[in-house]
Amino acid sequence: MSQTFRVDLRGIVDLLSHHLYTSPQVYVRELLQNAVDAITARQTAYEADAAYETDADDADGVATRPPAPRIAIASSDTTGDGSLTISDNGIGLSEAQVHELLATIGRSSKRDDLGFARHEFMGQFGIGLLSCFMVSDAIEVTTRRAGEPTVLWRGFSDGAYAVEPAPADRQREETGTTVTLRPRPGCEHLLTRRAVTGLVEHYGARLPHPVTVDGEPVTGGPAPWDRPEDETEAARRDRLEAYCEEVFGFAPFDVIDVATAEAGLRGVAFVLPMPANPAVPAAHRVYLKQMLLSEGAERLLPEWAFFVRCVVDTSELRPTASREALYEDSLLEATRDTLGDRLRGWLVRLSRQEPARLRAFLRVHHLGVKALALHDDDMLRLVAEFWPMETNVGPLTLSEFGERYGLLRFTPLLDEFRQLAPVAAAQGLAVLNAGYVYDAEIIDRLASVDRALEVEQLRAADLTTHLQRLDTADEQAIAPFLAVADRVLDRLGCDLLVRSFEPSGLPALYLLDEDTAFQLDVRGTREQVDDTWSAILGSFQAATAPRPRLVLNHRNPLARQVLALADPELQAMCLEGLYAQALLLGHHPLRPADTAALNQSFLGLIGRAVAGGAQ
């Protein structure tokens, strides 16, 4: 059996008026929006020469030109009874429209009942008016449409409303609407002159229609997106920089004009002069038809553009129901792409016209540009040409490195670069550090775009192929001592390798590649978890676990002396000391076994030295 929902109207009103909006202060914005929409409707009706726009006393039935738009607010400081009124000379409503529009929650009234395109208006009469219930338990609307009598509508927070002809003292002589609010307990301060003026300046100072509070005009000067004819470019730049410091709290690195016709959007983007956190969504200041919509609108720009803050005005993007954010749809997505193209073009222009300024920008915001380079060829070339990367032969761009050495040899891990860089440089191998965010991916993508570019990844295990092997005589000379060394290092899970390499001042080198490090982590974790997790982790462990290598440098006098020691105990302590030093030089973490070896070697050698000195 089909039935209809039973609706608790008081609950619906409470839900929408107290939970749809984030703050009771938005009631001023909603009232201003309704007033602006009413004025827009009247102007549009005149332009269309609509018959219902004629005044009652216009005998010949010709539509009269609307008077100059006017929105007047009287605060509780001047009304005398603690109330607030806002009056406009817009189109007004007939009694039938009052019943239909003010008492219907959620209906898209602007198109259906006024007969005009929806995008010309900011909001909906019914929904916007609900915000007033956050500061008042009752709302009175006195309205007159051309050729109709004045109507008085009273709405209450319990969902009830009443409509009647306006009494003699509430009659309106001109077309338009007046909304009256009386504060609910605790909200009196929100209807005072000081509070209302501040809210009008905050939300409506950029509106195209004059707004007064207690007879005083509220104006905000030129909007950021405006270009007054008598203002020079330098003066506009100074004005925008001052605006940015006032609103966003920083002096911009640069100011970029942005626009997209499809969204009716115009505005400016301010480039941050300091690094921004990519994980924190950028918050932008968005106006809808010159009314402030949000100070913290997100997803207006692509995710990679976290280095700018925007202030824009749009006429076509849709707001959410509370009109405090932008509605995610295909138009917003297209707008985001267009604005991203504008920022990309600014970067390309800097690379061609102001390369020094681009380098200054990259020093601050390289993360955002590198993120974009993973998907955009122009940005990829820009990064390759202008962003200096860390190498073991000094800072070089990818283009400079490729031209000088013929290929891009890199290590993908920061710790791996630190341990390999000095040794590789001594062998004549130039190596890029691709251990920072996006660097390895950028090198891979550069190789996929430019097929002629040679790329080589240098791993710790690969470096041994570039180190000189000992000749036969030297290998035979150290053979008796290798067995002792192998036993010492085996306890530490490490293999020994003896090579001859530069720099000769480096006695030992600890080589641990990514695969070996992963296997060591799996093995260590299995020893600390229960049987179930140990079995799961066992599926990731290789049958033959690789081991890191300690490479002793035969060109180093100290390393040769250690290998030639006849005392096994002293040789063991020296090997443990060289092992610990190689770990520290390579920035590797010390396991408990490594710390024990370091302490044992240090204390043992001190003991030997003290005993020898006593003799």
499: domain CATH number?
A: 1.20.120.790
pLDDT of residue 402: 92
Does 529 fall in a domain? no
Residues in the chain where the model's pLDDT stays below 70: 1-10, 12-13, 16-18, 49-63, 103-127, 513-531, 534-545, 613-615
Does 193 fall in a domain? yes
Structure tokens at 258: 């942005």
Question: Residue 558's domain spans which residues?
Answer: 468-512+548-614
Q: Are both 254 and 393 inside the same structural domain?
A: no
pLDDT of residue 542: 60
Does 339 fall in a domain? yes
* CA geometry: angle 139, 145, 151, nearest 5 deg: 40
**Rounded Cα gap, residues 515 and 508, in angstroms:** 21
Secondary structure letter of residue 500 according to DSSP: B
Q: Are both 168 and 32 inside the same structural domain?
A: yes
Does 522 fall in a domain? no
CA distances from 86 to 27, 69, 319, 329, 446 (A): 11, 14, 24, 34, 62
pLDDT of residue 110: 43
Q: Are both 187 and 237 inside the same structural domain?
A: no
**Rounded Cα gap, residues 11 and 114, in angstroms:** 29
Q: Are both 41 and 101 inside the same structural domain?
A: yes
Q: Give residue-wise pLDDT tens across range 194-228.
A: 999 999 999 998 998 999 999 999 977 789 999 88
Q: Are strands 254-260 and 265-271 parallel, antiparallel or unpaired?
A: antiparallel
* pTM score of the predicted model: 0.72
Q: Are both 130 and 182 inside the same structural domain?
A: yes
Q: Are both 476 and 450 inside the same structural domain?
A: no
CATH number, position 83:
3.30.565.10
Q: Are both 472 and 445 inside the same structural domain?
A: no
Q: What per-residue string of b and e applies to 264-287 under the rule 16 or more CB within 10 Å gives b?
A: bbbbbbbbbeeebebeeebebbbb
pLDDT of residue 44: 86
CATH number, position 264:
3.30.230.80
pLDDT of residue 49: 55
pLDDT of residue 219: 77
CATH number, position 401:
3.40.50
Q: Are both 208 and 176 inside the same structural domain?
A: yes
Number of domains into which the chain is organized: 4
Q: Are both 127 and 94 inside the same structural domain?
A: yes
- Within 8 A by CB and 6+ apart from 381, the residues are none
- Stretch (H or E) spanning 139: strand 136-144
> Final residue of a domain: which of 218, 243, 270?
218
For residue 15, which of 135, 131, 102, 183 has the smallest C-alpha distance? 131
* CA geometry: angle 141, 144, 148, nearest 5 deg: 135
Does 366 fall in a domain? no
Q: Are both 455 and 492 inside the same structural domain?
A: no
> Final residue of a domain: which of 425, 446, 464?
464
Q: Are both 142 and 240 inside the same structural domain?
A: no
Contact yes or no for 424/458 (Cβ under 8 A): yes
Does 300 fall in a domain? yes
Does 138 fall in a domain? yes
Contact yes or no for 313/287 (Cβ under 8 A): yes
Does 393 fall in a domain? yes
pLDDT of residue 515: 60
Q: Are both 131 and 280 inside the same structural domain?
A: no
